Homo-oligomer: A and B are copies of this chain.
Amino acid sequence: MAYGGYSYLDYKYVPDKDNDFVVLFWAKGSVGIEKIAEAIAAESSVGSWTKLNTMNDRVWKHYRARVCWVGKVTPNSGFIKIAYPLEHFDLKNISQFQASVLGNVFGLKELDELYVFDISFPITYQRQFSGPLKGVGGLRRMVKTIKSGRPHIGTIVKPKVGLTPKEWAHVAYEAYMGGLDLVKDDENLVDQDFCKWKDRLHETVKAIERAGDETGQNHLYSCNVSDRYSRMIERIDYLNEMGLQNNIVVMLDVYVMGMSTLQDVLEHTKKYNFATHGHRAGYAAVNRGNFGINFQVYDKFYRLLGIDQMHIGTGVAKMEGKPLMIKRLHDIADQFRLDEKMYLGSLPMEFAPHINPMFSIASGGLNAGIVDAAIALHGKDTILQAGAGVHGHPGGTRKGAMSMRQAVDAVMNGVSAPEYAKKHPELAQALKTWGYVNPQGVLKELEYATKNTERLTQIALKKGRWKMASI
């Protein structure tokens, strides 16, 4: 409830890009959209369901949230922009930020839907973060691809769980020998009895050395340390004692571990000069729901905190995520100025200039037949990861890896995969097994969505499909 005669609605208010957070919500409920907006602003700043005797002018003036825009769609639904002053927050405490802006508001009884599309972070807030230590440039230096500028290529060893350390490392070796830069733990795999973390690490380091001797390349291993805080620190210390900075990318399952641990763990990896790999298992439960938070918000936090390479989906394979959203997540990862794109529910924002670009990872159902389309959408500054698309290749892991590398080489040579396959049997076999996705399809879809956003938004809203992110 508002204070005195005042209201949280303040449509004349212009958010200050240096000092205000702006949050873009979609909401639908059992009362009018303005009332919903007021309730959200109150619950997430200084109000409650009834008038407070303990309220005063100073608090109201300095710490309240302001509803600066409401885009009504029906009487009880629409978009809402709320500005929060920096002073409201406990800086460097992301848990507090989440508890406030992404907290109790989701539980308000009068809501039937509440979705946070995007948040723009003020520059002053960003200054406290150091961003990626390595980022795109640093990772390219590790793999020596600065000159070629080609996408990095990786695989997730499969099956997800069950292989012994020796079996696991053998699969990794085969992948490196087939021309891959990176081998990664599945997110299901950390330190189970059948494949203890240290044993797997030691075997994989041997595989990296052996393969490196033969290929002359510097191969990487995204090593999953995700666990309770203390065990992650132990593992990172161990990696440091072994001096593996040049070959290990510390893999963190960032969404499930939570921001609280992540903030401290990333300071630890930076202290030791390790690159980091952000997996995002679980994010889709909030990203896709009619109550939820778009992954844009997390992607921004991960870049600010300093993940070096981060999963953003593929837009073309087994996981959710349409081309326009993938494009947006790429922009969040490596651009400095983000435009407003209402069709995606995206806000304009500038990253502070000291925040390095983060490398985006395309992963989830990729295979050599999709590489052309994936690069068309993701560009060359990306990391293409194929799991089953490597180990499911009829010729086995090494040939699967070769097919992926050949598909990338084809693009770098300006040749389509089917054309390149004429002289590259491993690629030919992959295309024969899984088919070929023409990049024109995804480009057309992207172009259509970009050009017709206004109209598509209106159509989506009429159908009640407000989640334009899924267009």
Contact = CB atoms under 8 A, between A and B. Distances in A.
Contacts of A54: 157-159, 163, 167, 171, 391, 397
A292 to B, nearest CB: 5
B260 A259 contact: no
Nearest to A3: B159
Contacts of A87: 192-194
A160 interface: yes
Given A95-B226, A256-B259, A259-B258, A318 B188 contact: no
A286 B290 CA distance: 9
A58 interface: yes
A388 interface: yes
A261 interface: yes
A99 B187 contact: yes
A114 B318 CA distance: 16
Contacts of A318: 49, 108-109
Given A292-B291, A391-B54, A90 B284 contact: no
B228 A396 contact: no
Interface stretch (A40-48, A201-209, A269-277): A40-48
Interface in A160-191: 160-163, 167, 171, 187-191
A58 B195 CA distance: 13
Contacts of A283: 106-107
Given A54-B163, A261-B229, A290-B289, A282 B93 contact: no
Contacts of A387: 48
A288 B102 contact: no
Contacts of A279: 99
Most chain B beta carbons < 10 A, residue from A94, A188, A194, A264:
A188
Nearest to A232: B260
Interface in A221-237: 226-232
Most chain B beta carbons < 10 A, residue from A62, A189, A261, A284:
A261
A459 interface: no
Interface residues of A, number: 104
A288 B291 contact: yes
Contacts of A108: 318-320
B160 A46 contact: yes
A50 B434 contact: yes
A90 B192 contact: yes
Q: Give the number of copies in the complex.
A: 2
Contact of A226 (B96, B291, B397): B96
Given A54-B397, A99-B256, A397-B54, A93 B290 contact: no
Contacts of A48: 158-160, 387-388, 392
Contacts of A261: 228-229, 257-258, 260-261
B282 A99 contact: yes
Given A260-B257, A291-B288, A293-B285, A228 B161 contact: no
Contacts of A94: 228
A131 interface: no
Interface string A43-76: 0111111111111101110110000000000000
Given A63-B162, A387-B48, A285 B281 contact: no
A92 interface: yes
A62 B162 contact: yes
B53 A93 contact: no
Interface in A100-123: 100, 102-104, 106-109, 111, 114
Contacts of A49: 318, 365, 388
Given A47-B159, A54-B159, A393-B53, A281 B98 contact: yes
The 5 closest A-B pairs by CB, nearest first: A258-B258, A289-B289, A59-B162, A103-B281, A48-B388
27 contacts: A44-B188, A46-B161, A48-B159, A48-B388, A50-B389, A50-B392, A51-B392, A53-B394, A54-B171, A63-B194, A89-B192, A90-B189, A90-B190, A95-B226, A95-B256, A98-B281, A100-B281, A104-B187, A104-B284, A104-B364, A107-B284, A107-B319, A109-B319, A230-B264, A284-B291, A285-B292, A286-B292
Given A229-B229, A286-B286, 20 more contacts: A44-B188, A46-B162, A52-B159, A52-B391, A87-B194, A88-B161, A93-B191, A93-B226, A93-B227, A94-B228, A95-B226, A96-B188, A96-B190, A100-B187, A102-B281, A257-B260, A284-B291, A286-B291, A287-B291, A289-B291
